[in-house]
Amino acid sequence: MTSDPLSWLVSLEGVPSAYAATRDGIDVMLRDRGLRRTSPETTAESLLRGAHASAVLEGSASTLLEVRSGEADEVAADSVRLSSELLSLVPALGRSPLQALARIHALAGSGSVPPERLGRPRDAESSARLRDVAAVLSTPTDAPALLVAALVHAELVTAAPFASHNGLVARAVERLVLVARGVDEKSLVVPEAGHLALRAAYESNLRGYAEGGAAGVHAWALYAAEAYAAGAEASPLRRAAEE
């Protein structure tokens, strides 16, 4: 029988309660505001907002208005291109996560990365880290899906396995996990906007994850629960309900 690779994370102080509270908040938002209003346009708006926020975190200077009008800079254009095809990869993420990760990078980098580098890890160490991420995505776990998404996100950012666009890839995979594991099947939460709203904490906790050992991982896990709550606040469902 395969052991649960994330069981130690679930036992960390404050983690179960933080993720239970965040999941409850997401469920209430989706149920109360989404059941009768959800449309493909709402999902598209969430993806667009997420693409813009992810691009800003990656260094883009484009505004959301510029992204909407097709006048975005290269980083934002890459992010939008990725988001437009992201949900088609939900089946692949569960069936063949390594292929899904490669495809996500190929979508993000197709405008600026040489074809021979698209979807390919930088070196043997990067290849091993990608296999580790794929194992997390394919191994059964009792950990909350939100926590799985947070861990995979941090692993991909800190490992930087591809030649470029690793942040875009990590945040795209994070969103995809939430869809694939039933947290947010129509992709209406905007986790990327949650990270942008908490940018200083986001960046410092990623550094802590990379350099701080178990304490850094613990801090990242607690931070990510807060970020997902902020991502729910950024949902177009919530904005529509307030208008």
Find the CATH number of the domain harbouring 234: 1.10.3290.10
- What is the model's pTM? 0.94
Q: What is the pLDDT of residues 52-81, one digit of tens each?
A: 999 999 999 999 999 999 999 999 999 999
Question: In Å, what is the CA distance from 133 to each residue of 22, 137, 182, 221?
Answer: 24, 6, 19, 16
Name the percent of the chain lying above pLDDT 90: 88
Does residue 90 belong to any structural domain of this protein? Answer: yes
Does residue 1 belong to any structural domain of this protein? Answer: no
Local confidence band at 34 (pLDDT 50, 70, 90 cut-offs): low
Does residue 231 belong to any structural domain of this protein? Answer: yes
Does residue 205 belong to any structural domain of this protein? Answer: yes
* Residue-level pLDDT at 242: 45
Distance, CA of 168 to CA of 190 (rounded, Å):
14
- Number of structural domains the chain divides into: 1
Does residue 61 belong to any structural domain of this protein? Answer: yes
The residue written with tokens 């890890």 in the block is 121
Domain that holds residue 203: 7-242
Cα–Cα–Cα angle for 150, 62, 107, rounded to 5 degrees: 55
Tell the burial category of 233 from Cβ atoms under 10 Å away from its Cβ (0-12, 13-18, 19+): middle
Distance, CA of 54 to CA of 193 (rounded, Å):
7
Does residue 2 belong to any structural domain of this protein? Answer: no
Does residue 111 belong to any structural domain of this protein? Answer: yes
Does residue 89 belong to any structural domain of this protein? Answer: yes
Question: In Å, what is the CA distance from 200 to each residue of 35, 49, 204?
Answer: 34, 19, 6
Distance, CA of 233 to CA of 218 (rounded, Å):
24
Looking at this protein, which amino acid is placed at residue 165? H
Distance, CA of 81 to CA of 91 (rounded, Å):
19
Those residues whose C-beta lies under 8 Å from the C-beta of residue 96, and which sit 6 or more positions away, are: none
